[in-house]
Amino acid sequence: MGKILVPIDGSSNSVRGLEKAIEFARDSNSSITILHIAILPPVYTIGHSKDKVKMSLVKKEQKFVQDAEDRCTNQNIPCTTKIIYGYDPA
């Protein structure tokens, strides 16, 4: 059993990538890890604490992460999700 890492950003391209990864996982009996990098703006530019900004991002971005997880679950593909908060996705 292999593992496939699928980065997502909510775009249609990342959804297409997830769909291909689901096909590959089904064919190779692999699991998928869904990864999203949430970009935190510098705190000094927004005037709020880092934790407050994180909570706002979680609400916004959790939806498409959950949608991606649901796509895997509906196809009986084992998956995990990971959201990393940072300043540079690269």
What the chain holds in terms of domains, given with CATH numbers, is: 3-86 (3.40.50.620)
User: Which pTM does this prediction carry?
Assistant: 0.78
- What value, to the nearest 5°, has the Cα angle with vertex 73 and ends 26 and 27? 0
Express each pLDDT in 54-84 by its tens digit. 666 667 778 888 999 999 999 999 999 998 8
Q: How far apart are CA 69 and CA 43, in angstroms?
A: 30
Percent of all residues in the chain with a pLDDT value above 90, rounded to a whole number: 53
Predicted local distance difference test score (pLDDT) of residue 61: 76
Q: Which residue has the higher pLDDT, 67 or 48?
A: 67
Give the DSSP per-residue string, 12-38: HHHHHHHHHHHHHHHHHT-EEEEEEEE
Q: Tell me what pLDDT residue 39 has.
A: 77
Give the span between the Cα atoms of 74 and 51, in whole angstroms: 33
Q: Please tell me the predicted confidence (pLDDT) of residue 13.
A: 95
